Structure formats: C-alpha cells, structure tokens
C-alpha cells in the first residue's frame, strides 16, 4: 500500500454524503491506498466500497429537517454516555489505522452537531507520532449559516486543525465563494476537484426504461410529497400515455410507499412503483423525462446523461443547497424547476410540458464531472 487514508462521513437525513464518500473510498482503495471509511449514519444497503474497509459507528440520524435532535437506531435521543462511547470507538479506529491522511466529510463547514467526536478526532490525529495531513471534503454548496459567529467558528476550526479542503464541484458553475463568504481566507488551501460521480452507464448498454418518465427522490426520506404529486400530475401532462416508473428509496417511509402503490393500482397499466435500482443511470439515460429532487448525486447524474428533466428541490428546514443548485441551472434553461412552495399536480404538469418543449439537456455545455480522478491526483500528490 502506498499510504493509509482515514475517512469520516456522517449522513443524517439523505444519503448523498455517504454515496460520495463511498465512491471516493472505493477509488482510493483501487488506487492502492489502505482506506478505512468510518460511517456514523444509518446503514444503507447496496453501496459498494470495493476494497475499502467500512467501520460502522453506533448510528445516529436526525429526527427532522432542522437537524437539531439526534437519535440512535432505535429512535432514542442520544445522551452523553452515547457520545462518549461513540467517540471512544472512533478514536480507537484512528489509532489502529494510524493514517497518513485524515479526511472529514463536511466538517468544519458543517456537521456542527458532531463536534463532540470530530474535534477529538482531529486533535488525536494531530497528536499521532507521525502527524497525518488533515483535509476537509465538501460538496459544491454549503448551507448558508444565518449566524455570522458560525462562520467565525468554521474559520477558527479550519485554521487550528486543517491543512486543506477539497471542494467537489466545478468553480465555473458554482464557485465555493458563492456560499462561503470568507473563502479568501483559505483560498490557498482550497482545491476544486470537479463533481464526484461514478458508475454512469454507457449508451446502448441497456434498454431498460426506454421512453419512460422516471420519478425519483434519492434515498426517499423526504420524497413522499413529490412522488405523490407526480402520480397526480401524470394525467394532466402531455406524457400521460408514456410509461411512468417511480423509484422508492430505501429511506422512504413505509406508509408513503404503500400509498403510492395503492394509487398505481388504481391507475392500472402504465405505472410501475418499485424500490430504487442499481441501474438508475441507465434508466435515467433512456428516459424521455426525469422528475427528481435536486440533491448532489442525482443532479450531476441528470446533467451527465439525461435528456430532459424537472427538478423539485428539497427546501425543508435550513437547507438552501438544492434550491440554489436548481435555480442556477433553471436560469440557464437546462431544465425546468418547481419550488416546493409551488408544487401541485397542475404546476408539475405544466413544468413537464415546458421541459418537453425546451432543448435537450444534452445540448448544453457539460459541467466538470471528473471529480474522482482529480481527487485521486490531489491525494497522490499529498501523500507523495
């Protein structure tokens, strides 16, 4: 092995953070790095870490879209004993792996709720006999903090503990400065990698989903309203006679899945409701239209392979990430957007018809989706 990498990731509601981290960890391992990925969220089926080792901490999740209350896998609010036990397990994993590079996903630019374990983690890393390089890994857009003192805290933590940050986005599309106002203070330590995406299908390798309307919502934890509205919008749209496929993520509440299946049965032929599939990008490439939320992975996959799309970004709680990403693309005419506040069967059907009358996404310039290769290049240089 040419180096040891220790990667901490925590997802609280959606699964985009974990998917991106698993993708990078898999490629780190394939490149010859001894990679340990420590996950603090609920287990997600179907992810492929390749040769990377996954260490699962006692999982926590958020109870709502404001991320203020964390609970364990049984729904019990975590207490100080839980925090201490989890932190001890995390630090044990660090010392056993003895890494050359420590990566924390989002922290210190987010995951403030995990300070109880992440500050001890980077402090312990700095105290190792051979101090590893410590790097933050963030997506293209940060959630805007309503409190200036929170940004002060981010800068302070970064300055005290971190050597660099990798921004997994395209600065020509969304520069880090767009959502981090004090980026100039860490500009020399900030590296844009392009978007991290993996496993895109090749044209012609699968006929699955040809000519269909594809409706999806990532992990599905907050996707129920969009899925139900899309089901109702079908009959109002110009694509009413096309087959419609609804993909239910593993985190979609069971009652939402049951309600969707019941509505599909009433409609009869032409509507399929099923669990999310590993060949999602083949379905996306072959579909006539995609309807989805605006999460990091789905958006970049849509930009990379889809024909036409309608985006309904999740905007619950303090989240601003999906709205901003979707707004920027909608302004350029790449696809149609419906806000959650305006979402209804009528508004969604109208957006579907506008998308079908607009140019294909494939007619627009591509965003930089080479984030895996550029991240690997950075890591190789650092560890060399």
Write out pLDDT tens, residues 5-48.
999 999 988 788 999 999 999 999 999 999 999 999 999 888 89
- Residue pair 372/23 in contact (Cβ under 8 Å)? The answer is yes
pLDDT lower than 70: segments of the chain? 1, 64-67, 146, 201, 316-319
Same structural domain, 224 and 356: yes
Residues in the chain: 384
pLDDT on residue 285: 95
pLDDT on residue 327: 85
Same structural domain, 43 and 146: yes
Determine, yes or no, domain membership for 206: no
**CATH number of the domain that 223 lies in?**
3.40.50.2000
pLDDT on residue 324: 83
Same structural domain, 54 and 138: yes
pLDDT on residue 318: 57
- Structure token digits, residue 261: 């299946």
- Residue pair 359/185 in contact (Cβ under 8 Å)? The answer is no
Same structural domain, 112 and 181: yes
Determine, yes or no, domain membership for 92: yes
Determine, yes or no, domain membership for 337: yes
pTM: 0.86
pLDDT on residue 328: 80
Same structural domain, 40 and 80: yes
Same structural domain, 293 and 190: no
Within 162-306, residue ranges assigned H as helices are 224-233, 254-267, 280-286, 296-305
Determine, yes or no, domain membership for 135: yes
- Per-residue CA distances from 188 to 148, 183, 277 (Å): 22, 9, 41
- Per-residue CA distances from 161 to 108, 140, 302 (Å): 10, 22, 36
Same structural domain, 125 and 230: no
Structural domains counted in the chain: 2
Same structural domain, 186 and 251: no
Same structural domain, 296 and 171: no
pLDDT on residue 147: 79
Determine, yes or no, domain membership for 177: yes
The beta strands (E) that lie in the chain are given as 4-9, 34-39, 53-56, 60-62, 70-72, 101-105, 133-139, 164-168, 190-192, 213-215, 244-248, 271-275, 289-292, 309-311, 336-337
Same structural domain, 276 and 377: no
SS3 call for 150: helix
- Domain coverage including residue 256: 213-363
Same structural domain, 28 and 142: yes
- Structure token digits, residue 344: 């209804």
pLDDT on residue 16: 86
Same structural domain, 231 and 145: no
């Amino acid at each position: 092995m040419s180096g040891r990498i220790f990667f901490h990731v925590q997802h609280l509601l959606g699964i985009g953070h974990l998917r991106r981290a698993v993708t990078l960890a898999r490629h780190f391992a394939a490149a010859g790095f001894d990679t340990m990925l420590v996950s603090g969220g609920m287990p997600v089926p179907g992810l492929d870490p390749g040769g990377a080792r996954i260490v699962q901490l006692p999982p926590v999740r958020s109870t709502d879209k404001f991320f203020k209350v964390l609970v364990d896998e049984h729904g019990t609010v975590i207490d100080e004993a839980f925090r201490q036990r989890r932190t001890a397990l995390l630090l044990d994993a660090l010392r056993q792996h003895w890494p050359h590079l420590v990566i924390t996903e989002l922290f210190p630019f987010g995951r403030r709720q995990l300070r109880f374990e992440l500050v001890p983690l980077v402090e312990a890393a700095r105290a190792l006999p051979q101090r590893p390089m410590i790097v933050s890994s963030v997506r293209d857009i940060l959630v805007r903090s309503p409190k200036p003192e929170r940004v002060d805290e981010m800068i302070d933590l970064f300055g005290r503990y971190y050597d660099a940050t990798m921004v997994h986005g395209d600065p020509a599309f969304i520069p880090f400065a767009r959502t981090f106002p004090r980026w100039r203070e860490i500009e020399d330590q900030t590296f844009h990698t392009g978007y991290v995406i993996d496993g895109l299908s090749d044209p012609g390798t699968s006929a699955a989903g040809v000519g269909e309307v594809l409706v999806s919502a990532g992990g599905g934890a907050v996707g129920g309203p969009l899925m139900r509205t899309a089901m109702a919008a079908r009959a109002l749209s110009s694509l009413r006679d096309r087959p419609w496929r609804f993909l239910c993520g593993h985190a979609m509440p069971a009652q939402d899945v049951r309600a969707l299946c019941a509505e599909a049965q009433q409609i009869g032929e032409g509507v399929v409701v099923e669990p999310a599939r590993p060949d999602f990008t083949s379905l996306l490439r072959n579909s006539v239209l995609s309807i989805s939320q605006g999460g990091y992975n789905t958006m970049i996959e849509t930009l990379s392979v889809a024909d036409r799309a309608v985006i309904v970004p999740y905007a619950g709680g303090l989240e601003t990430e999906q709205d901003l990403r979707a707004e920027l693309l909608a302004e350029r005419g790449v696809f149609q957007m419906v806000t959650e506040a305006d979402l209804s069967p009528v508004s969604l059907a109208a957006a579907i018809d506008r998308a079908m009358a607009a140019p294909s996404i494939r007619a627009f310039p591509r965003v930089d989706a080479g984030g895996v290769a550029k991240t690997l290049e950075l890591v190789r240089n650092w560890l060399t």
